Amino acid sequence: MSQPNPPDDPSGGRRAPKRGRGWLAAKRSEAPDPSRSLIGSHPRTFGENRYVYPVLSRRAGGISIGVNLNLDRACNSDCIYCQVDRSQPGPKPSAAVDLDRLEAELDAMVGFVVSGRIFEDAVFRATPPALRRLNDVALSGDAEPTTCPNFVEAAAVCAEVRRRHGLDEVKLVLITNASLFHRARVRRGLEILDAANGEIWAKLDAGTEAYYREVARSKVPFRRILDNLLWAARVRPIVIQTLLLRIRGEPPSAAELAAYCDRLGAIVSGGGRIKLVQLYTIARPAAESWATLLTDAEVDALAALVRQRTGLPVATY
């Protein structure tokens, strides 16, 4: 197993991440794909927008319009693989989202994507024809979106813009660590998403308390994450997102993987519904240089193990 985490720097923040990309280039040796740079880089900025940004998402299978509800980058987890650079403080706007500006930005971005004008932009010109579609509007961003004080109102704005454009087939996706599902205001926001073709993509990166602590570095109890996942999956089918990686050169142990499969099984046996398990590895520079990616073959082998042990559908990225 990996060694203990290094100490935080004296300023109280995370050690400054190393941003070299050589490790990622070594993952594949085939001819370059001009669309890969779009998938390998997800900047949360676009033009003069404050909250809304488009990305070409490998997991969405098309264009995902992101909604960043956490511009201050203040998260209740400190995941070792996070791509958000928290070594420097983020901008300090009001913690609450400016709902009027969010609505205006999202309305304009939906029109930009649906009209196809986005693919005239130099950044998205290389998008393959099969991915030239709007798949979802995703509440995500630089931290846990449900910590936003007006998360409920922001979810309602997103649902209204989707309705206004007649996009019944476009999902509203919440990308979340499930840490706050027990709170009444967050559950109200989830009800808004449920009524608007919503989908929860919830993180589960561990099977044991110790591994969760090592990867997430959060004060939120692992038991709370598990209880919240079970509650959410009993109300609606959810997607589980799991990032697989090496910690100081070591992949997850066999015991850790078995415990992870047991956690998935406990959700199902407890009456929860898991629509899909998404397994993937690091695709962009991580917060910690000693958090590194697995090979495609390793991810595929682990996916086969999860399918065998749980019977759940699994997709790899």
Q: What is the pLDDT of residue 72?
A: 84
Distance CA 269, CA 259 (A): 15
Q: What does the pLDDT average to over 145-172?
A: 96
pLDDT tens digits, 109-120: 999 999 999 999
Residue 221 vs residues 65, 76, 133, 161, 180: alpha-carbon distances, Å: 31, 11, 39, 36, 11
The phi, psi pair for 212, rounded to 5°, reads -60, -45
Q: Is the pLDDT of residue 4 over 50?
A: no
Q: Is the pLDDT of residue 77 over 90?
A: yes
Of 178, 6, 143, residue with least CA distance to 68:
143
Q: What is the pLDDT of residue 57?
A: 82
pTM of the model: 0.84
Q: Is the pLDDT of residue 5 over 50?
A: no
Q: What is the pLDDT of residue 93?
A: 53
pLDDT tens digits, 120-134: 999 999 999 999 999
pLDDT tens digits, 179-191: 999 999 999 999 9
Q: What is the pLDDT of residue 27?
A: 38
Sheet containing strand 274-281, edge to edge, reads 52-57, 62-68, 134-140, 171-176, 198-203, 238-244, 274-281, 314-316
pLDDT tens digits, 204-238: 999 999 999 999 999 999 999 999 999 999 999 99
The alpha carbon of 123 is separated from its chain's Cα centroid by a whole number of angstroms, namely 22
User: Is the model more confident about 94 or about 172?
Assistant: 172
Cβ atoms of 19 and 289 within 8 Å: the answer is no
Q: Give the CA count within 13 Å in the CB-facing half-sphere of 24.
A: 18
Q: What is the pLDDT of residue 74?
A: 86
